[in-house]
Amino acid sequence: MIPNTGISLLIPPDAIPRGKIYEVYLTLHKQEDVRLPLAGCQTLLSPIVSCGPPGVLLTRPVILAMGHCVEASAENWSIRLKKQSCEGSWEDVLHLGEEPASELYYCQLEPQACYVFTEQLGRFALVGESLSMAASKRLKLVLFAPASCSSLEYNIRVYCLSDTQDVLKEVIQLEKQMGGQLIGAPRVLHFKDSYHNLRLSIHDMPSSLWKSKLLASYQEIPFYHIWSGLQPYLHCTFTLERLSPSTCELACKIWIWQVEGDGQSFTINLNIAKDTRFSDWLAPDGEAGPAALVGPSAFKIPFLIRQKIISSLDAPCARGADWRTLAQKLNLDSHLSFFALKPSPTAMILNLWEARHFPSGNLAQLAAAVAEVGKQDSSLFAVSEAEC
């Protein structure tokens, strides 16, 4: 995993041929370092991520997890998984929701993240094309200002980011280097494909203590700068000036809205002389566990229990006590045809459960789902004490 980004790679048991040793890597790319051509209403919805080495033989699909910022709906979006070829061109390898299922790729799209099954390692990105003006992306709005200020000028930076963990992590690191601090709880704004720009304004500032150096009534970020998703750190700066060096209290409101669309406001009350870090509003700096886990410790499900579940549920059952029912209980039944193409559909479901719940999965939910399946056939799970 790449800590604090939501990006991870799960390599299931038996995915690497016996006797082979691969030095596997996982890389997050900056958009400016990778040429990803977008046309028309296309927009980058995820980080650009590489897993490798490319071209190696895999006997089972691995699962690449990464965040996305799309408010997905079939009527508003056409979403594709893109993979970069050896020659450098980007190819559509999967059209989400399209039938029949691909044998090489599958993508489980959830509200905040996607899980990509692939037997071919390489560089991937999720790209969407809007089908209506109601299509929207999530923007994360984040405010930063100097942690300490000795001059009369005081800058408030308002970032309008794609709502994925990796971009927020980069901005936090950038602001730390600049001596910035977070001055408000991050908000989410739904930005529609309406061609309307994003506007930002500042209000209710005591004119006897402060003045804004903004000459216009608002600032504006052009629609296409935001919609493409290729400019990750878009922000506007409000430069304020206190009229007296003794003024330390700042109270104001910042409004951010898309013309004829969604909007958010921030109420600011702070003492600029104090270093008040609102760290509770952000994810913790360190995610649990090391960046890489190898062997049995990498998996939540004990290996013998896993094998027992697989052997019990892979075979079709007339009473429905098989892998299809398990997928339904775990809400993973949106694309059963992909699982059915694999030698062990149950293994695919358990692998996806592991990827969704990494690194802090709770086995209780899985155990409850398996128990529900077992109720339909009491002979399914005869587990010995040694297996436990």
Assign 385 a pLDDT band (cuts: 50, 70, 90): very low
Enumerate domains of the chain plus CATH numbers: 1-132 (2.60.220.30), 136-282 (2.60.40.2660), 293-378 (1.10.533.10)
Assign 387 a pLDDT band (cuts: 50, 70, 90): very low
pLDDT tops 60 at residue 388: no
CA angle at 83 for the pair 80 and 88, rounded to the nearest 5°: 135
pLDDT given at position 41: 83
pLDDT given at position 280: 54
pLDDT tops 80 at residue 264: yes
Which tops the pLDDT comparison, 288 or 73?
73
pLDDT given at position 101: 67
pLDDT given at position 172: 93
pLDDT digits (tens, 9 = 90+) for 148-200: 888 999 999 999 999 999 999 999 999 999 999 999 899 999 999 999 999 99
The average pLDDT across 325-333 equals 90
pLDDT tops 70 at residue 297: yes
pLDDT digits (tens, 9 = 90+) for 353-372: 999 988 777 788 899 989 88
pLDDT digits (tens, 9 = 90+) for 276-290: 655 555 555 545 457
pLDDT given at position 82: 97
pLDDT tops 50 at residue 292: yes
**Mean per-residue pLDDT over the chain, rounded:** 89
Nearest to 138 by CA among 191, 186, 83, 63: 191
Q: Could you tell me if 14 and 60 are in contact, meaning their C-beta atoms sit under 8 angstroms apart?
A: yes
* pTM assigned to the model: 0.92
pLDDT tops 50 at residue 384: no
